[in-house]
């Protein structure tokens, strides 16, 4: 099976290296680079900034061979899904929008690794008319690269969940690390500080696009988070031990529910 990877940053580079390590005829191409190989590939992975994916597909997809499967790695799914919804219904190639739940705090091809996806989850948001054939092919391919779980969902639910599990975390970390006291952390910090600042420096170009593309879902989870912070601030301002204790206890119970082993 031939695999084309368009875009050679951290994720694209890791897909290329993982596919080559798994024995596929995989070739990688930089953003803007043309190749006849795109017309030969069975699977085309578009690993580019959000705004570049749709134009790239519109330029190159007419040359895709019948039955070829294209997927992306973007952290927001609704825009691309909607852009090709009607077009792919009649197309000879398949688009299955995807999002690998893997990454690092540093980007670029130099930091890519074939083991990046080991044990990770791959999220797919297929169209209702997508047959089992393309999905089975993708699942087998992704599992061969080390993915442990394949999740199929709607673009709407994907964007809502990623707003909470990823985008909100980057916003919180970015806001936290900008406090003037962070410059004096040496000697005063341990694991809690490291955990809070780990994702505090996302690529501003890419993440500005992602945040704005998902602004409605992100604004919702951010508003709920701010309301919980305001509850803590009010309890401190009123020296209300009972309210503070209740908020902390609720957090403990919430963590217990999500970390307890499933029966």
Give CATH 1.10.3660.10 domain extents, the chain.
157-259
pLDDT recorded at residue 105: 80
Comparison of pLDDT for 25 and 203, the residue scoring more: 25
Per-residue pLDDT of 208-233, as tens digits, reads 999 999 999 999 999 999 999 999 99
pLDDT recorded at residue 260: 82
Supply the Cα-derived Rg of the chain in whole angstroms: 21
User: 27, 4 in Cβ contact below 8 A?
Assistant: yes
In CATH terms, 157-259 corresponds, of 3.40.50.300, 1.10.3660.10, 1.20.1630.10, 3.40.190.10, to 1.10.3660.10
Please determine, for residue 166, whether its predicted confidence score (pLDDT) is greater than 70. yes
Q: What percent of the chain is predicted at pLDDT more than 90?
A: 92
Q: Which residues pair with 150 in a beta bridge?
A: 122
CA separation (Å) from 164 to 29, 215, 221, 247?
A: 32, 12, 6, 20
Please determine, for residue 7, whether its predicted confidence score (pLDDT) is greater than 90. yes
Separation of first and last alpha carbons in the chain: 39
| Number of alpha helices (DSSP H) and beta strands (DSSP E) in the chain | 10, 8
pTM as predicted:
0.93
Q: Could you tell me which CATH number the domain at 2-153 has?
A: 3.40.50.720
Give CATH 3.40.50.720 domain extents, the chain.
2-153
Q: What percent of the chain is predicted at pLDDT more than 70?
A: 99
């Amino acid at each position: 099976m031939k695999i084309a990877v368009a875009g050679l940053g951290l994720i694209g580079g890791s897909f290329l290296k993982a596919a080559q390590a798994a024995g596929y005829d995989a070739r990688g191409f930089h953003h803007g680079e043309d190749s006849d190989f795109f017309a030969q590939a069975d699977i085309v992975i578009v690993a580019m900034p959000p705004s570049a994916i749709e134009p790239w597909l519109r330029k190159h997809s007419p040359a895709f061979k019948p039955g070829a499967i294209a997927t992306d790695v973007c952290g927001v799914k609704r825009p691309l899904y909607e852009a090709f919804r009607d077009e792919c219904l009649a197309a000879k190639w398949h688009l299955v929008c995807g999002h690998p739940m893997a990454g690092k705090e540093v980007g670029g091809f130099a930091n890519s690794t074939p083991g990046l996806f080991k044990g990770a989850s791959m999220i797919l948001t297929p169209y209702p008319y997508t047959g089992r054939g393309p999905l089975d092919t993708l699942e087998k391919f992704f599992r061969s690269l080390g993915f442990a779980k394949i999740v199929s969902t709607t673009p709407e639910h994907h964007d809502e969940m990623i707003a909470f599990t990823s985008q909100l975390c980057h916003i919180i970390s970015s806001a936290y690390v900008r406090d003037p006291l962070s410059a004096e952390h040496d000697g005063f910090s341990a694991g809690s500080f490291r955990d809070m600042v780990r994702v505090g420096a996302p690529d501003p170009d890419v993440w500005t696009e992602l945040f704005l593309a998902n602004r409605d879902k992100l604004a919702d989870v951010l508003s709920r988070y701010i309301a919980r912070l305001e509850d803590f601030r009010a309890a401190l301002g009123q020296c209300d031990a009972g309210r503070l204790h209740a908020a902390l206890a609720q957090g403990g119970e919430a963590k217990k529910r999500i970390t307890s082993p499933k029966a």
